[in-house]
Amino acid sequence: MVDLVTLQATAYVAQIVGVVGTLTAAFIAVRSYLNSNKRAEEAKQKEQETRNRELETRQAQLYMQVYNIMASREFVVADNKLVLEWSKQKFTKWSDFIDKYGPDANREDYLVFDQLGHVIEGMGVLVKNGLLNVQYIDDLMGGIIIGYWDIFRDAILDFRKINNYPAAFDMTELLYDKLTTERKKPTWKSA
């Protein structure tokens, strides 16, 4: 016959083996869960790094497109007009500008003004929507944008009132504000 003490000891050993087995299974499950989470986090981080690289690449492409516009003959002519002629004037009213450079008075100069405005407005949209870093724009043509707004601000604000068009050149103003806020440098003031 089996001794009661032996039977009880065997029961204890079986109980201990069961507990150890359960603890081992729990440990393996927790470790597997942690490893799985770690791999998922690493994959998520790699995916984010890939997205960041893609964004940087896209911003570089957009930057080069802006640079190509700036390098065009038409833009250089427009920039020279801004720097060499318009910066020496003060346009306080929209009519001040239109009388001298409007489409009826001087169609070519008006097209230059309009081209600069469209390029700057487009860059403002890209910056506003986070598609292009404002620092890139500042490095490339911050002075042109600041100069454009400084020269034409009053005339454009007057244009907004006269035409009841408060959004006119709003991206130019936004870009100007971002540039002057971020750079903390004095702005270019026209005469």
Rounded to two decimals, the pTM is: 0.69
For residue 74, the model assigns a pLDDT of: 87
106 closest CA partner among 131, 86, 124: 86
According to DSSP, residue 185 is labeled -
For residue 132, the model assigns a pLDDT of: 85
Q: What is the mean pLDDT of residues 113-133?
A: 90
For residue 152, the model assigns a pLDDT of: 93
Average pLDDT, the chain: 87
Contact 178, 127 (CB under 8 A): yes
For residue 158, the model assigns a pLDDT of: 96
For residue 171, the model assigns a pLDDT of: 96
Q: What is the mean pLDDT of residues 120-127?
A: 92
pLDDT tens sequence across 12-43: 888 888 888 888 888 888 898 888 888 989 99
132 closest CA partner among 35, 64, 77, 70: 64
Any residues with CB less than 8 A from the CB of 76 and at least 6 apart, and which? 70
pLDDT tens sequence across 133-152: 888 889 888 999 999 999 99
Q: What is the mean pLDDT of residues 152-178?
A: 95
pLDDT tens sequence across 42-100: 999 999 999 989 988 888 888 888 889 888 888 888 888 888 888 888 889 999 889 98
Lowest mean pLDDT, pick from 2-6, 94-98, 162-166:
2-6
Question: pLDDT class for 189, splitting at 50, 70, 90?
Answer: low
CA pair distance 64, 58, nearest whole angstrom: 10
Burial class (CB in 10 A: 0-12, 13-18, 19+), 63: middle
For residue 83, the model assigns a pLDDT of: 81
pLDDT above 50 (res 123): yes
Phi, psi of 188 (to 5 degrees): -80, 120
Contact 82, 147 (CB under 8 A): yes
For residue 50, the model assigns a pLDDT of: 93
